[in-house]
């Protein structure tokens, strides 16, 4: 296993772990302050769920990309990386707009 592949998998697993803690433990503190300062207290569970799922999606994209780099020499790993990162960002963007009024509100 090359260092690059190990890094992809490690970053992915760290993001998945952070996403799970954010979601399941409702740890809004793991999200930067300006991104959650306008979130109402009653919306914190839904907000942390959405942000955690977004982090998990990005982490899954990285981990799956690393795994597919191990299994094949083709370009397919880029599909998993792109889908995970794009999907996660879309989920987090929707949560930011819904619960915080935008990214920099």
Residue range 47-94, pLDDT digits in tens: 999 999 999 999 999 999 999 998 888 888 999 999 999 999 999 999
Q: What is the pLDDT of residue 34?
A: 65
Q: What is the pLDDT of residues 17-41, one digit of tens each?
A: 999 999 999 888 888 766 777 788 8
Q: What is the pLDDT of residue 103?
A: 63
Rounded-to-integer distance, Cα 43 and Cα 89, Å: 20
pTM: 0.89
Q: Which of 14, 12, 43, 13 is nearest to 28 (CA)?
A: 43
Does 105 have pLDDT greater than 60?
Answer: no
Q: What is the pLDDT of residue 27?
A: 87
Angle value at C-alpha 95, between 29 and 61, nearest 5 degrees = 85
- Helices 44-71 and 3-24: crossing angle in degrees, nearest 10, is 160
């Amino acid at each position: 296993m090359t260092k690059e592949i190990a890094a992809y998998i490690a970053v992915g697993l760290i993001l998945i772990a952070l996403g799970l803690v954010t979601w399941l433990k409702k740890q809004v503190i793991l999200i930067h302050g300006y991104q959650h300062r306008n979130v109402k207290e009653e919306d914190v569970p839904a907000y942390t769920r959405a942000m955690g799922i977004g982090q998990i999606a990005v982490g899954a994209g990285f981990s799956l990309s690393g795994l597919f780099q191990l299994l094949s020499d083709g370009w397919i790993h880029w599909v998993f990386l792109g889908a995970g990162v794009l999907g996660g960002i879309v989920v987090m963007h929707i949560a930011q707009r819904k619960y915080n009024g935008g990214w920099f509100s």
